[in-house]
């Protein structure tokens, strides 16, 4: 679905994983800022249902795209369609992700593979598809959403931690490659933000509402930061402490039935 006209001189943003959680709330934040939006997710019906509210909030245009980033071959055509429809892409946010328990040695290899495919390869493929477009435009910004879980492996979440740590290193390398070029590489690493994805687990230290988390992230994106923990405090300190503290202190546990 496409609504509105391509923004004349307005800013544009593509967000993957935009049908719920942080992605959907980020879409609302950027709508309020008057952006043209391209929203991608597996659940097209949910994206389409969001359009009236986003238009009412101030989005100049809303394009919805059915996309499963696990199917990496489908990503480049979706990114290209977003750029063509919106007129340009100022910001591309690789946000799509999953988080499931994958205790080691208990037959969770399919879930481990899926986690790495979505969180790591899907995010990298999204950014790789965007870079030629941004370079041709002469400017742009890519944003990778990692996690505090990437700072240290957590019991039961080896695949999730590995996927976020891998994306962190990819973004570091990309930032070094883009030095001197007009392309900003931003990494946002949230702590616990209240979303459906993590509500099924136990302790969530320092958890904040998704609306607050998305507002912080939107400001950081517009400020073109390099790498930031979200929110900056307490997670900047916690991330440093994780180097010496047992990971089990922050490892969520699945609730018992």
135 within domain boundaries: yes
Torsion sign across C-alpha atoms 200, 201, 202, 203: negative
Is-contact 89 65, C-beta < 8 A?
A: no
253 within domain boundaries: no
Confidence of residue 238 (pLDDT cuts 50, 70, 90): confident
- Is the pLDDT at 252 greater than 70, yes or no? no
Q: How much of the chain, in percent, has pLDDT values that exceed 90?
A: 73
The per-residue pLDDT for 6 is 46
Q: Any idea what DSSP says for residue 103?
A: -
The predicted model gives 26-43 an average pLDDT of 98
70 within domain boundaries: yes
Tokens read off for 6: 């391509």
- Is the pLDDT at 255 greater than 70, yes or no? no
Please state, rounded to an integer, the average pLDDT across all residues of the chain.
Answer: 90
Confidence of residue 235 (pLDDT cuts 50, 70, 90): confident
- Cis preceding-peptide flag for 231 (omega within 30 of 0): yes
The per-residue pLDDT for 240 is 84
- Is the pLDDT at 144 greater than 90, yes or no? yes
Which residues are CB-neighbours of 25 under 8 A, at least 6 positions away? Answer: 210, 211, 213, 214
208: domain CATH number?
3.40.50.720
Bridge partners of 201, per DSSP, are 254
Name the more confident of 194 and 4. Answer: 194
Summarize pLDDT for 42-70 with one digit per residue, the tens. 999 999 999 999 999 999 999 999 999 99
Range of the domain at 209: 8-248
The per-residue pLDDT for 77 is 98
66 within domain boundaries: yes
The per-residue pLDDT for 256 is 33
- Is the pLDDT at 202 greater than 70, yes or no? no
1 within domain boundaries: no
- Is the pLDDT at 97 greater than 70, yes or no? yes
3 within domain boundaries: no
Count of domains observed in the chain: 1
Name the more confident of 36 and 100. Answer: 36
Nearest to 221 by CA among 176, 189, 188: 188
Is-contact 230 189, C-beta < 8 A?
A: yes
Positions annotated as catalytic residues are: 160
- Give exposure, 194-215, as e/b (b: 16+ Cβ within 10 Å): bbebeeebeeeeeebebeebbb
């Amino acid at each position: 679905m496409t609504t509105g006209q391509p923004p004349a001189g307005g800013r544009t943003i593509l967000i993957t994983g935009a049908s719920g959680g942080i992605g959907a709330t980020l879409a609302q934040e950027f709508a309020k800022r008057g952006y043209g939006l391209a929203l991608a997710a597996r659940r097209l019906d949910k994206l389409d249902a969001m359009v009236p509210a986003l238009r009412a909030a101030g989005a100049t245009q809303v394009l919805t795209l059915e996309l499963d980033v696990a199917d990496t071959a489908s990503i480049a055509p979706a990114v290209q369609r977003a750029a063509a429809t919106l007129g340009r892409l100022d910001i591309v946010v690789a946000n799509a992700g999953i988080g499931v328990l994958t205790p080691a040695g208990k037959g969770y290899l399919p879930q481990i593979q899926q986690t790495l495919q979505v969180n790591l390869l899907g995010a990298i493929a999204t950014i790789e598809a965007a870079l030629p477009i941004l370079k041709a435009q002469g400017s742009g910004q890519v944003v990778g959403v990692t996690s505090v879980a990437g700072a240290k492996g957590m019991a039961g979440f080896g695949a999730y931690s590995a996927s976020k740590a891998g994306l962190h290193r990819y973004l570091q390398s990309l930032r070094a490659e883009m030095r001197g070029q007009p392309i900003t590489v931003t990494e946002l690493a949230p702590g616990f933000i209240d979303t459906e994805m993590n509500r099924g687990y136990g302790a969530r230290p320092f958890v904040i509402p998704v609306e607050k988390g998305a507002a912080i992230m939107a400001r950081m994106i517009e400020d073109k930061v390099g790498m930031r923990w979200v929110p900056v405090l307490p997670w900047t300190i916690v991330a440093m402490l994780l180097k010496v503290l047992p990971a089990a202190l922050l490892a969520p546990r699945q609730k018992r039935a």
